[in-house]
Structure 1
Amino acid sequence: MTDVALTPTTGLWSKLYHGKTLPILTVVIAILFAWYAGAVYLNSDTLISTYERTNVEWDGKKLITDSWSMDRPILPAPHQIVEELNKTVFQKNITSKRSLIYHSWVTTSATLLGFLFGGLLGVLLAVGIVHVQTLDRSLMPWVIASQTIPILAIAPMIVVVLGNVGLTGTIPKAIISMYLCFFPITIGMVKGLRSPDVLQMDLMRTYSASTSQIFWKLRVPASIPFLFASLKVAVAISLVGAIVGELPTGAVAGLGARLLSGSYYGQTIQIWSALVMASLLGMLLVYIVTVIEKVVLKNMGARS
């Protein structure tokens, strides 16, 4: 009876220990512990100066409690960020400019548009590089060199130039996102289109396959796993580009605008809540690409 009673518990512990849940929980707990400790360490100097200036009696418990409840802390505690997210996500109308859902949608729209532009550009460049030897030798080095320019340096120039020709709002941010995300797509697709080995290529030529038939029936199917691996990286980078694109424009909407306004007024809790929202949005976008990848590969007959 004892062995039977212990079996479910033992089995559950074994699944937790050998699975992903326990390691993830351990890392999360360690991060939270370090975060709370860091909040006390970084906020304590400001609080102690305030106590001494106002002649307030304090001890360790009061210092810790106040460090985790400051209005404008140097490092906010995790529960303060959760409270801010609850207030700006669930307690605000999604059309309100105080809602993080509203700001997230503004950033997401630029992200997806830039991701679309970058995907099309990356695929077209990859096809040209693979099929035209001149482009392979001349264009590929420029594609690589383009990523050596810091995006913070080029983003204001893009915004100013496009603004002078009447393109404002979402388009400049999408162009910046495109500039960042086309690179991994290009590299991944080039690798994927070249992934068929010599024997496969010779077999297609034995069947008198044309260049277009080799492309659609061999190269493209072989490149799909490489493409989706690149898309996961690209969609996350596209989000970064959209946020960076909001910084030099003085935008009034978007996660970048929330970061700017928070830095202007010293609202560190607002800054951190926008950062957490951006990270959650990035994970959601990558997850969506992953789901699409599984569907596409399954329809192509790939084994899970």
Structure 2
Amino acid sequence: MNKIIPVLTMLAVIVVLWYAAAVKMNSQWAMDQAARAEVELTFGELVKDTLSQDRPKLPAPHQVVAELWETTVEKKITSKRSLVYHGWITLSATMLGFGIGTVAGIALAVGIVHNKAMDLGVMPWAIASQTIPILAIAPMIIVVLNSMGISGLIPKAIIAAYLSFFPVVVGMVKGLRAPDAMQLDLMKTYNASGGETFWKLRLPSSMPYLFASLKVAVAAALVGTIVAELPSGAVRGLGARLLSGSYYGQTIQIWSALFAAAALAAALVIIVGILEKVVLKRMGMAK
């Protein structure tokens, strides 16, 4: 209970500030409409109008909640207006990209730790790759792949993998190098081979680092997928909902898609956290 109260308090503060900002940002349109109609609005009427506009600058919390309810519960999951439908499209590309990024990140990390040339040659390029803005590289990847006849899920997954592999590389390298000199010397005393040292010492030691990086990577993969859906003119996915909302000035739709994406990211991070507890417990590294 002591942990829930601070969270609820912060949530209440955010909601109050959100309502205040909605009134402030939407009031100008309401006053302009009243001036054209040559009527005066009372403060109560002004507040009511600012919190019920069809296309507000900033939707009120209850408008976003109502849109989320309508597009998740009241719509069939096969409907093109269902956020469940669009969320599944985004999730599919996210998981594929996350899988590719994770495998590539682990493989690169193993090579970097065991090969001095890769450490000196690959790691700087991996770092440099993250300095390129994803908004700049995503359209290039999509155009190139489309010219090769590759479209749909694969381009989005590649961009998701591009964002997700780097946290895995960094975390896994740190984890594989976690054993200290005394532990490595002990393995040499046991006449352990390089493979045995890896499987029995380095890999188990890297697990906490790996799962910490996976939580970052899965969220980054989701961001990459949504970004990939924006420049491609996609008609499916949460990015498509954001895009169509911006085209037609449907700010409530935009905010509902943003909250759906945030909820999806939170769910993925929680799932990785659950897997972390299960794996570490089986390895005797957590209670």
Q: Does 1:214 align with 2:197?
A: yes
Q: Does 1:252 align with 2:216?
A: no
Secondary structure of 1:57's partner?
coil
Secondary structure of 2:76's partner?
coil
Identical columns (%): 61
In structure 1, what is the Cα distance between the partners aligned to 2:38 and 2:128? 59
Equivalent position to 1:198, from 170, 173, 181: 181
Taking the TM superposition and a 5 Å limit, the aligned residue runs for 1:100-179 are 100-179=83-162
Q: Does 1:89 align with 2:72?
A: yes
TM-score, length basis structure 2: 0.99
In structure 2, what is the Cα distance between the partners aligned to 1:20 and 1:38? 28
Please tell me the residue identity of whatever aligns with 2:178: S
In structure 2, what is the Cα distance between the partners aligned to 1:113 and 1:53? 54
- Partner residue, 1:284: 267
Secondary structure of 1:72's partner?
coil
Unpaired runs of 5+ residues, structure 1, are 1-15
Query: CA offset at residue 268 of structure 1?
Result: 0.2
Deviation digits for residues 53-105 of structure 1, max 9, x if unmatched?
11233110000001000000000000000000111000000011110000000
Range with greater deviation from structure 2 (54-63 or 40-49): 54-63
Q: Does 1:35 align with 2:5?
A: no
Q: Does 1:20 align with 2:3?
A: yes
In structure 2, what is the Cα distance between the partners aligned to 1:217 and 1:302? 14
In structure 1, what is the Cα distance between the partners aligned to 2:14 and 2:114? 49
The total of aligned residue pairs comes to 287
Unpaired runs of 5+ residues, structure 2, are none
In structure 1, what is the Cα distance between the partners aligned to 2:99 and 2:19? 40
In structure 2, what is the Cα distance between the partners aligned to 1:267 and 1:108? 23
Secondary structure of 1:96's partner?
coil
- Partner residue, 2:82: 99
Deviation digits for residues 242-300 of structure 1, max 9, x if unmatched?
00000011000000000000000000000000000000000000000000000000110
Deviation digits for residues 19-40 of structure 1, max 9, x if unmatched?
2111101100000000000000
Secondary structure of 1:74's partner?
coil
Query: CA offset at residue 178 of structure 1?
Result: 0.4
In structure 2, what is the Cα distance between the partners aligned to 1:127 and 1:226? 14
TM-score, length basis structure 1: 0.94
Range with greater deviation from structure 2 (163-172 or 251-260): 163-172
Structure 1 residue runs of 4+, over 4 Å off?
none
In structure 1, what is the Cα distance between the partners aligned to 2:77 and 2:251? 22
Q: Does 1:183 align with 2:166?
A: yes
- Partner residue, 2:216: 233
Equivalent position to 2:46, from 63, 68, 71: 63
Q: Does 1:293 align with 2:276?
A: yes
Please tell me the residue identity of whatever aligns with 2:230: L
Secondary structure of 1:249's partner?
coil
Query: CA offset at residue 225 of structure 1?
Result: 0.4
In structure 2, what is the Cα distance between the partners aligned to 1:286 and 1:210? 36
Query: CA offset at residue 106 of structure 1?
Result: 0.3
Please tell me the residue identity of whatever aligns with 1:217: K
- Partner residue, 2:61: 78
In structure 2, what is the Cα distance between the partners aligned to 1:139 and 1:289? 27
CA contact (8 A) 2:277 2:286 kept: no
State the structure with more CA Rg. Answer: 1
Deviation digits for residues 83-134 of structure 1, max 9, x if unmatched?
0011100000001111000000000000000000000000000000000000
CA contact (8 A) 2:51 2:60 kept: yes
Secondary structure of 1:248's partner?
coil
Please tell me the residue identity of whatever aligns with 1:242: T
